[in-house]
C-alpha cells in the first residue's frame, strides 16, 4: 500500500479500519492475465471480499456467488447478471425461483446434488425456459457430486430446458505445489474427454479453482510467478477443447488490502512485552497463521530510533487466543502507535469472529486515485445483534 495513502487515511479515520486500494486490483488482474494468457477467463469468488465487486466488474469475466446474501449484494452493486455463477452447497427453492423470475436464463447455476438438478429441472419445465448449469465434481468432501452421478445426469440429459455448459471443480486453497495442479488438470481433462467419447457430450466450459497461493509470511519464498507460469503451461496442454475459467478469490483480493489498528496499552508480564491493540483476531487473520508464530507483513507506522524488543501483539478480546503475532521486533513501540497489517484484502473483513464480545465492526474504506477515499461501510455497533429487547 502506498505510504502517502496510508498517511492520509491514518490522519482522517479512527482505528481500527480496513482500507482497500482498488487501483491495485487492476494491477493484480493484469499480472494474472499476462501470465495465464488471453484465452483463460477469470471468475472472482466474491466471498473473499464483497466490498470490491463493483470495482472488478470490468476486470473479471464472472463472479462466483455462494449465498442469497451475496446475490443481494450483486443486485445492489448492479452487477451484470450474465457475469454471475450461482454456486453454493445449499440452494433454497424460493431463492432460486426469485433469481429465475427476475433474471431468466442470464445466470449460470452450479449443480451440487441430485436435489439441485431436480429443483432446476422442475422449474425449467414449468416455466419453459432454458437454464444454464455447471455440474460440480466433488474433490472428496461435502461439495459437488461423485463422478458416477455426473455421468448419470449427462447420460440422461436429454431435457429440453437445461443446458449443461460444463464442469466445475475446486479442491482447496493455498496450494503451493505445481504437481497438485498438474494432477487435477490431468484428471479433469481426462474426465471431459471421457464424457465426449462415452456420451457424446462436449464440455464447453471447465471452471477450475486452482487455489493459488498468497505468500503472507516473512519466512516464505514468494513463488507466485513460478506458480502462474507453470499453471499457464498446464492449461495450454488441455485437450478437451472447451473454455477454461479459473475461479480465484484470495489471489485477486489479498494484495489490495490493509488493516490499520492502534496500540491502546503496553505491559510486561513475566519478562515478555505485550501490546494491546483496538482490533484483534475477530477482524484480521491470515490463512496458515498457527498460534501467531508466523510474522505477517506488518508496518510499525510510528517507528523511531531506540531500543528494539520482541513484542507480542494481542487484540481487544477477552480470550487468550486473541494473539495477532508473537515476539515481533519493534523499536521504541509506545501506546498510541499505529500498526498496519498488509495483504488483508481477502477474507479478513468477512471471516473473523466479528460478533464475539459485541465489539464494533470496523469502518471499511475504498481508495482509488480517481475517486480518492470512499466509505464503503461505517463503523457498526454490534451489541444490538447479540441481544435485542423491545
pLDDT means per 10 residues, the chain with 390 residues, are 94 97 97 96 98 97 97 97 96 91 94 94 90 96 96 87 95 94 98 97 97 95 96 98 97 98 98 97 91 93 94 97 96 97 95 90 96 96 85
Query: Is there a single domain that holds both residue 184 and residue 246?
Result: yes
Query: Is there a single domain that holds both residue 130 and residue 245?
Result: yes
Query: Is there a single domain that holds both residue 207 and residue 74?
Result: yes
Phi-psi map region of 177: left, alpha, beta (phi>0 left; psi -120 to 50 alpha): beta
Q: 88 is in which domain, residue-wise? A: 22-254
Quote the distance between the C-alpha of residue 251 and its chain's center.
8
Query: Is there a single domain that holds both residue 209 and residue 308?
Result: no
Q: What is the CATH number of the domain that holds 75?
A: 3.20.20.10
Query: Is there a single domain that holds both residue 235 and residue 332?
Result: no
Return the C-alpha cell found at 156: 440422461
Residue 248 forms part of a structural domain: yes
Alpha helices in 37-92 (DSSP H): 53-56, 68-76
Neighbours of 18 (CB within 10 A): 25
Residue 327 exposed, middle or buried by CB count within 10 Å (0-12, 13-18, 19+): middle
Return the C-alpha cell found at 175: 496450494
Number of domains in the chain: 2
Query: Is there a single domain that holds both residue 154 and residue 107?
Result: yes
DSSP 281: T
Among 254, 269, 298, give the residue marking a domain's end. 254
Q: What is the CATH number of the domain that holds 370?
A: 2.40.37.10
pLDDT confidence of residue 164: 96
Residue 10 forms part of a structural domain: no
pLDDT confidence of residue 390: 64
Look at residue 60 and give its three-state secondary structure: coil
Query: Is there a single domain that holds both residue 279 and residue 338?
Result: yes
The whole-angstrom separation of Cα 182 and Cα 375 is 42
pLDDT confidence of residue 157: 86
Residue 54 forms part of a structural domain: yes
Amino acid at each position: 500500500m502506498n505510504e502517502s495513502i496510508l498517511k492520509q487515511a491514518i490522519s482522517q479515520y479512527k482505528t481500527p479500519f480496513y482500507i482497500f486500494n482498488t487501483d491495485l486490483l487492476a494491477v493484480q488482474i493484469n499480472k494474472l492475465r499476462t501470465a495465464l494468457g488471453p484465452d483463460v477467463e477469470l471468475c472472482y469468488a466474491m466471498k473473499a471480499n464483497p466490498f470490491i465487486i463493483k470495482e472488478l466488474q470490468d476486470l473479471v469475466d464472472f463472479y462466483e456467488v455462494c449465498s442469497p446474501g451475496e446475490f443481494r449484494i450483486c443486485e445492489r452493486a448492479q452487477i451484470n447478471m450474465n457475469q454471475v455463477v450461482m454456486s453454493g452447497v445449499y440452494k433454497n427453492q424460493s431463492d432460486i425461483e426469485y433469481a429465475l423470475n427476475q433474471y431468466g436464463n442470464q445466470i449460470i447455476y452450479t449443480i451440487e446434488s441430485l436435489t439441485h438438478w431436480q429443483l432446476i429441472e422442475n422449474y425449467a419445465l414449468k416455466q419453459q425456459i432454458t437454464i444454464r448449469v455447471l455440474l460440480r465434481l466433488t474433490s472428496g468432501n461435502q461439495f459437488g457430486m461423485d463422478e458416477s452421478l455426473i455421468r448419470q445426469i449427462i447420460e440422461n440429459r436429454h431435457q429440453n430446458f437445461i443446458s449443461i455448459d460444463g464442469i466445475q471443480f475446486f479442491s482447496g486453497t493455498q496450494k503451493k505445489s505445481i504437481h497438485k495442479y498438474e494432477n487435477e488438470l490431468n484428471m479433469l481433462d481426462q474426465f471431459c474427454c471421457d464424457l465426449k467419447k462415452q456420451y457424446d457430450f462436449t464440455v464447453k466450459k471447465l471452471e477450475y479453482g486452482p487455489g493459488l497461493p498468497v505468500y503472507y509470511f516473512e519466512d516464505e519464498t514468494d513463488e507466485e510467478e513460478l506458480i502462474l507460469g507453470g499453471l499457464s503451461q498446464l492449461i495450454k496442454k488441455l485437450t478437451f477443447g472447451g473454455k477454461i475459467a479459473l475461479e480465484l478469490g484470495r489471489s485477486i483480493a489479498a494484495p489490495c488490502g490493509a488493516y490499520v489498528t492502534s496500540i491502546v496499552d503496553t505491559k510486561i508480564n513475566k519478562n515478555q512485552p505485550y501490546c494491546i491493540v483496538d482490533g484483534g483476531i475477530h477482524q484480521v487473520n491470515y490463512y496458515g497463521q498457527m498460534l501467531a508464530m508466523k510474522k505477517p507483513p506488518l508496518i510499525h507506522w510510528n517507528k523511531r530510533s531506540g531500543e528494539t524488543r520482541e513484542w507480542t501483539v494481542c487484540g481487544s478480546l477477552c480470550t487468550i487466543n486473541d494473539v495477532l503475532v508473537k515476539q515481533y521486533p519493534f523499536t521504541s513501540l509506545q501506546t498510541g502507535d499505529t500498526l498496519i497489517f498488509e495483504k488483508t484484502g481477502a477474507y479478513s473483513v468477512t471471516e473473523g469472529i466479528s460478533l464475539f464480545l459485541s465489539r464494533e465492526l470496523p469502518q471499511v474504506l475504498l481508495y482509488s486515485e480517481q475517486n480518492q477515499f470512499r466509505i464503503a461501510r461505517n463503523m457498526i455497533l454490534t451489541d444490538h445483534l447479540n441481544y435485542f429487547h423491545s
